[in-house]
Amino acid sequence: IAGLFTVFSSFVFSSTVINFLRSDISDLKDALFFFLLLIDLTKATLLAQFALSSCSRAEVRTNIARGMAMLGPTITLDTVVETLVIGIGTLSGVRRLEILCCFACMSVVVNYVVFMTFYPACLSLILEEEQKPNPVVQRVKIIMAAGLMMVHAHSRWPFGTGDQEDIPEAEPRSPLVADHTMASSNRTEDVDVHVYIMKWLTVSAEHVVILILLLALAVKYIFFEDKEELKESIILSEMADINEGADITGFEGRLAQAHMDAFLRHRLVPLLDRTSLPQGQMSAPNLGYEGRAGDWVEVSPLKDDKAVQTHEEKISFSEEKVKEEDEGLVLKRTGETSDSDTDAEEKSLMSQTPKEMRSLEECIKISKSEAGAEVLSDEEVILLVTNGHIPTYLIEKAVGDPERGVGIRRKIVGAAGSLGKSLDGLPFRNYDYNKVMGACCENVIGYVPVPVGFVGPLPLDGRNFYVPMATTEGCLVASTNRGCRALMASINGVDSCVVADGMTRGPVVRFPSVPRASEAMLWMQDPLNFKLMKESFDSTSRFARLTKLHVRIAGRHLFIRFVAKTGDAMGMNMLSKGTEVALKRLQQVFSDMEILSLSGNFCTDKKPAAVNWIEGRGKSVVCEAIIPANVVTTLLKTSVHALVDVNITKNMMGSAIAGSIGGFNAHAANIVTAIFIATGQDPAQNVSSSNCMTLMEPWGEDGKDLYVSCTMPSIEIGTIGGGTVLPPQAACLEMLGVRGANAEKPGENANTLARIVCGTVLAGELSLMSALAAGHLVKSHLRHNRSTVSVNPSEIVNGSRKEMLYHAHISFPIHYHKLSGACCENVIGYVPVPVGFVGPLPLDGRNFYVPMATTEGCLVASTNRGCRALMASINGVDSCVVADGMTRGPVVRFPSVPRA
């Protein structure tokens, strides 16, 4: 409607100007195409929507004024540029083109004048509520009425008779004045109204095209205009009706202003991009909340973090267009941000608190209405949660805003656990919780940003990889990177091979007797019967394919280990579903079989087990490399003989003495876990995935080179599902070229990632073993991995809170200066790991709310159910620390056994 009004008013005023200049108005029909193309309706509709977001009459005037302040400079610049460009056509010498360009220039100028004066006044009058008459508004109406009467009178003047001033023949001829007008400039004649009207009513092809264009514009702006902003104004209007008579200069005024600022920033970024302002030099006026000191100022250009910047209505704003520029723009407040200011800001952005808190009955009624709990304040939602009307894990769904739901849950946990400001250091804003809900974590209260460093290039199978590692252990990335440099200088880089592929699930079943259990075991070992089981299993998935059944008997119990390929997924859920269906098929043959558990620990998942070390689980990978002697001595600072000697005594003999299962390595778990966290894998599966045997031996004719290999039989890994759906983790997979499923060859991406893990482990083993052989381990850790920051709890809570919140606003909620030399090297960012809570946990007479950072769905929910059961137990949980002592086990050698 605003767009159509703009077209109509601009056309009327343009016709008036043309009549005033004594041009032949019939020529205007030839310039209608120019006229329609040059009218910019987006700004008119933007101002109208902005005005509609007002909750009161006073706010209408304020919103229109602020909107004009933002739109005015852009429209003025556009008008000047358009007029100058189109004005070139008046110098072409082509008669018809000159007339069209003159009409176009006039329409641009008239449209600008109308938009800056007439349109805002009409918009304000239309939106004025019928309340007590305002004398000022009445005067404006009188003035407007008088002006319109003059316009009507003047626009009808050419239809009457009258004398026109003589125009000297010596004056330059204007292209706006028609030929017959110039010929009769020294005389007056009556205008034939009938001929004049018939000329306009004559139907031609041009009129049909113009009619179609007008109808298309009407349909577009009536039916396809974006209504997202109007939805917010409806909610604000409902709140204003509920709190009729409240002072809008209070909280409602600040809330409306916050919505207005975010609305303008979101809609004006594309407009500002089209201006001639230099890149990265944009500034914005003060759009802050009332009572906040300081203006918006430009600070050093920074990139907005795409991984966590997901909502446009934030203190720092960005569009995809701005993000992709070489120099981004970040706006921040001048001056210090106090705690009270921060709290007020959180309330303004997350809560729509009415003047007085509604009763429980009113809140229940509103939450069950069509509006839902979205229109309730945070305190009212908390009231519903504490009274059991909204489950804690469904707050996000109830309020319709995941981030707001997380904020409400933080308040509930903080109050229930008397946590005070303990949660202030845990960021939660600017994160896409939609991808977390129902997939990775429950009861979310924020996320833990884990720094990510990179190592590389890693020369693996003829390709170079830059491997992301998320860790807080100092020297790990630097040490592994040194190993990569050594491998880059090796003879052929790293060669790897996936020798087996099969995820497992091991249920346990029970029979009435041992003979019956034995009969079932023999039945499953028959190839024909295995085929029947395989058909049932494979029918549950497009990718899961059963390859083997490993059956073990214990009394009248059978432990059945299903082994299947799962494509590019890690595959535990695929195995569970397929195993369940296959067991039902087995139960049709053995009706007396009792299924005790879908998992009987014969899998074995997340626990050290010899079966995974011997039989393998997931991807079984072997890789090797040959390091020249000069690289060993110059880069690794040791010798081949020393490396081989230390590897045998430490990784072989030492692990055997310890009774290790799959632990014949120096620190494979470090690299595996760091890559798992960075790429969205399940970190708990590092237990089996870290099974590794590192072998070293002299190589070459004279034995001066070093041959090194790593064998990892149970890497449980995937590139789809689980935490890989989170954008930061998916970005790390993208770095390696293995994001998602491989469409051409299913399973290839997961195999490649497993080979990258094994190759990186080889680099880490090579570097650490060299440091141990040269005696550099303690020296390097004392130099690089000792924290020099004095940790004071009060400083963490009070001193760093402002800084942490400031970083959270600009999407960098991590202190990078604290990482240097302490937690991570070669930092390229961080991966936010969602944090849920379980509790209360009744432990030793106290109740604890336990945070859990995970990307494994249902883990938090399952653990929380256990906490509820413990809360109902007799005395809760009693615990005791029965021993305390960290260990380090060096190996020494003596000249003889008696001496040793």
**In sequence order, which ranges of 445-555 are alpha helices (DSSP H)?**
476-488, 514-525, 527-538
Q: Which of 78, 401, 473, 697 is catalytic?
A: 473
Closest residue by Cα to residue 665 from 565, 734, 761 = 761
What is the distance between the alpha carbons of residues 304 and 317, in angstroms, rounded to a whole number?
9
Q: Which of 403, 442, 682, 765 is catalytic?
A: 682
Question: Going by DSSP bridges, is the β-strand pair 508-510/331-333 parallel, antiparallel, or unpaired?
Answer: unpaired
Q: Are 632 and 731 in contact (CB under 8 A)?
A: no
- 473 assigned to active site: yes
- 311 assigned to active site: no
**In sequence order, which ranges of 712-792 are alpha helices (DSSP H)?**
727-736, 748-774, 777-784
What is the distance between the alpha carbons of residues 480 and 631, in angstroms, rounded to a whole number?
15
Peptide bond into 840 cis (omega under 30): yes
Q: Which of 29, 606, 776, 807 is catalytic?
A: 606
Q: Are 344 and 289 in contact (CB under 8 A)?
A: yes
In degrees rounded to 5, what are phi and psi of residue 618? 80, -125
SS3 per-residue string spanning 633-645: HHCCCCCHHHHHH
Instruction: State the Cα angle at 293 between 289 and 296, rounded to 5°.
Output: 75
Q: Which of 311, 704, 781, 802 is catalytic?
A: 781
What are the angstrom distances between the C-alpha of 865 and each of 157, 405, 469, 834, 839? 85, 21, 33, 19, 9
What is the distance between the alpha carbons of residues 315 and 411, in angstroms, rounded to a whole number?
22
Helix and strand element counts for the chain (H, E): 34, 15
Q: Give the amino acid at 775.
A: G
What is the distance between the alpha carbons of residues 375 and 56, in angstroms, rounded to a whole number?
19
- 781 assigned to active site: yes
Closest residue by Cα to residue 50 from 38, 62, 58, 40 = 62
How buried is residue 807: exposed, middle or buried, by Cβ count under 10 Å (0-12/13-18/19+)?
A: middle
What single-letter DSSP state applies at residue 660?
Answer: -
Which residues are annotated as catalytic?
A: 473, 606, 682, 781
